[in-house]
């Protein structure tokens, strides 16, 4: 069936087979048909509706499709804007980081150049002092050798004669005119005192370098008033060990009563901080930071949304960053010491293998309360081998 007629002129098209107006729409064949086509013709038995109804339905479908495409276009436009914002932010953050790295290394180079210059000046001064003294001793020694030669030559010549009177004369003259050279006291011969500059040079410079390094391992301590009764804090407050039985401690609001945790004694709400925790070969532990206002009662959930940024180890090999959802970490080498870095203004909490300084995970956040270190050596299990304590590393410089 074909249509004939000029739709553009407003005339209704007619069926090429029956000559009737195409007033209906076949939903099966997706085309306009006449009444005869629909009743007895090739479209008999098909679902047929009036053209106006079909037109309305088609417009509804197109409208729905248009809305869907417009929504997707709007989504992509928003995505593009976010990409552009992130591109700008990435460029700005990278430039800031590049400048910071350049400034940090420039400070180290300036310090090392200054230390090298001072040391080289000291060595040069010691060298000059030693050489001047040796030149003085050499000149004095040459003068004495020449003086001794004046004594030796007449004596040597006299030994060649057999005239007794001549020998006596030379001996009498020698004793009157010349003083015995061995009566002169010689100044000690100096040497270059290299030992002044020996020793662990790089170590000495490294220790002095801490004067310019802003972030070094801080010797934090545990707040024993927050420790769960099954946790024992060492006398120096830098080690915590799980126990089989509870300690007779006083119950207080600050103390954890369910979670086997203890907080640090030092909170901070500004600056950059770094500390290290020795975990040895423990099979499980929890380490991180938390808002100092977190509840100490009942079970707690390690989530940034709850004000806790934490890394955990279970079964000796399963490392997780506690997020929503948790993030399983791939750690090839089991660290014996964990480094924790916090940049409060920068909104960063990072965890490192403190021996290799390989980053394990980084959280990004916006901090609204003071932060405080959080630790858990986890429950002491029967048959647990090895040292079960957590210890805060103290760098001795």
Tell me: do 196 and 254 sit in the same domain: no
How high is the pLDDT of residue 387?
81
Which letter does DSSP use for residue 336 in this model? S
Tell me: do 379 and 280 sit in the same domain: yes
Q: Please name which of 338, 344, 375 lies closest in space to residue 358, comparing C-alpha atoms.
A: 338
CATH code, 19: 3.30.160
Do β-strands 348-353 and 358-364 pair in parallel, antiparallel, or remain unpaired?
antiparallel
**Residue-number span of the structural domain to which 229 is assigned:** 224-392
Tell me: do 244 and 180 sit in the same domain: no
Distance of CA 190 to the CA centre of its chain: 51
Instruction: Report the C-alpha gap between 322 and 329 in whole angstroms.
Output: 10
Q: What is the tens place of the pLDDT at every residue in 149-193?
A: 887 887 888 888 777 777 777 777 666 555 555 456 788 888 888
**Sequence-separated (6 or more) residues with CB below 8 Å from residue 289:** 308, 309, 310, 340, 342, 349, 371, 372, 373, 374
Domain membership flag for residue 65: no
Phi-psi region of 271 (alpha: psi -120 to 50; beta: other; left: phi over 0): left
Domain count across the chain = 3
Instruction: Report the C-alpha gap between 198 and 196 in whole angstroms.
Output: 6
Instruction: Report the C-alpha gap between 377 and 283 in whole angstroms.
Output: 10
Tell me: do 241 and 311 sit in the same domain: yes
Tell me: do 143 and 229 sit in the same domain: no
Sheet of strand 272-278: strand arrangement: 231-233, 239-242, 390-392, 272-278, 337-343, 348-353, 358-364
- Bigger pLDDT: 5 or 216? 216
The model's pTM: 0.62
Helix 201-209 with 51-158: angle, nearest 10 deg: 130
| Local confidence band at 323 (pLDDT 50, 70, 90 cut-offs) | very high
How high is the pLDDT of residue 186?
81
Q: Is 190 exposed, middle or buried (0-12, 13-18, 19+ CB in 10 A)?
A: middle
Chosen domain end from 179, 209, 239: 209
């Amino acid at each position: 069936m074909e249509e004939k007629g000029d739709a553009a002129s407003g005339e209704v098209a007619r069926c090429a087979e029956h000559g009737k107006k195409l007033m209906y729409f076949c939903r099966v064949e997706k085309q306009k048909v006449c009444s005869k086509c629909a009743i007895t013709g090739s479209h008999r038995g098909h679902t047929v509706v009036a053209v106006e109804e079909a037109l309305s339905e088609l417009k509804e479908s197109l409208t729905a499709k248009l809305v869907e495409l417009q929504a997707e276009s709007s989504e992509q436009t928003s995505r593009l804007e976010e990409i552009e914002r992130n591109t700008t932010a990435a460029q700005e953050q990278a430039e800031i980081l590049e400048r910071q790295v350049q400034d940090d290394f420039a400070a180290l180079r300036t310090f090392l150049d200054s230390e090298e210059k001072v040391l080289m000046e000291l060595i040069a001064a010691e060298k000059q002092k030693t050489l001047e003294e040796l030149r003085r001793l050499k000149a004095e020694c040459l003068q004495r050798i020449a003086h001794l030669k004046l004594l030796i030559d007449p004596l040597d010549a006299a030994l060649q004669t057999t005239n007794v009177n001549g020998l006596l004369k030379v001996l009498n003259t020698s004793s009157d005119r010349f003083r015995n050279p061995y009566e002169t006291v010689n100044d000690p011969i100096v040497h270059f005192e290299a030992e002044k500059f020996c020793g662990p040079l790089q170590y000495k410079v490294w220790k002095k370098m801490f004067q310019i390094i802003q972030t070094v391992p801080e010797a934090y301590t545990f707040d024993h008033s927050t420790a769960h009764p099954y946790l024992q804090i060492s006398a120096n407050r830098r080690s915590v060990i799980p126990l089989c039985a509870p300690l007779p401690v006083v119950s207080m609001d600050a103390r954890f009563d369910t979670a086997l945790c203890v907080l640090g004694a030092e909170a901070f709400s500004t600056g950059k901080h770094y500390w290290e925790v020795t975990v040895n070969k423990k099979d499980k532990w929890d380490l991180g930071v938390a808002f100092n206002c977190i509840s100490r009662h009942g079970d707690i959930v390690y989530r940034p949304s709850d004000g806790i940024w934490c890394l955990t180890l279970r079964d000796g090999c399963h490392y997780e960053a506690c997020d929503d959802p948790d993030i399983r970490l791939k750690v090839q080498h089991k660290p014996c010491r964990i480094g924790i870095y916090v940049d409060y203004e920068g909104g960063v909490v990072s965890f490192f293998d403190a021996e290799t300084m390989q980053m394990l995970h980084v959280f990004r956040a916006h901090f609204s309360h003071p932060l405080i270190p959080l630790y858990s050596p986890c429950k002491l299990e029967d048959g647990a081998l090895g040292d079960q304590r957590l210890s805060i590393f103290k760098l001795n410089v």
